[in-house]
Amino acid sequence: MLNFGNALLHEIQSGKPAAEQPAQWLKSSEVRKLLKISPGTLQNLRINGTLNFNRIGGILYYKYEDLKKLLDK
């Protein structure tokens, strides 16, 4: 999992695809670590509609593409 996080962070920072394909869906904890934000900030992004999410069985998932679009702004 750590390798995936490093690859995703590298791709986001460089704008170039990493060697391995990132997961299509990320959990809240993964998004918070990548963006270096608190749970409250992530909640505000959800409430404001800035970052879309899906809830499956009580777990929130975020699309990788939505996260990438947010970082490109």
Residue 53 lies in a domain: yes
Dump pLDDT digits (tens) for 26-65: 999 999 998 999 999 999 999 999 999 999 999 999 999 9
> 18 pLDDT exceeds 90?
no
Residue 54 lies in a domain: yes
Distance, in Å, from the CA atom of 55 to the CA atom of 7, rounded to the nearest integer, reads 25
| Structural domain of 66 | 22-72
Of 23 and 51, the structure prediction assigns the larger pLDDT to 51
Residue 33 lies in a domain: yes
Burial of residue 62 (CB within 10 Å: 0-12, 13-18, 19+) is: buried
Distance, in Å, from the CA atom of 51 to the CA atom of 30, rounded to the nearest integer, reads 14
Residue 7 lies in a domain: no
Residue 1 lies in a domain: no
Token pair, residue 19, equals: 């060697």
C-alpha Rg value of the chain to the nearest Å: 12
Q: For the chain, how many structural domains are there in total?
A: 1
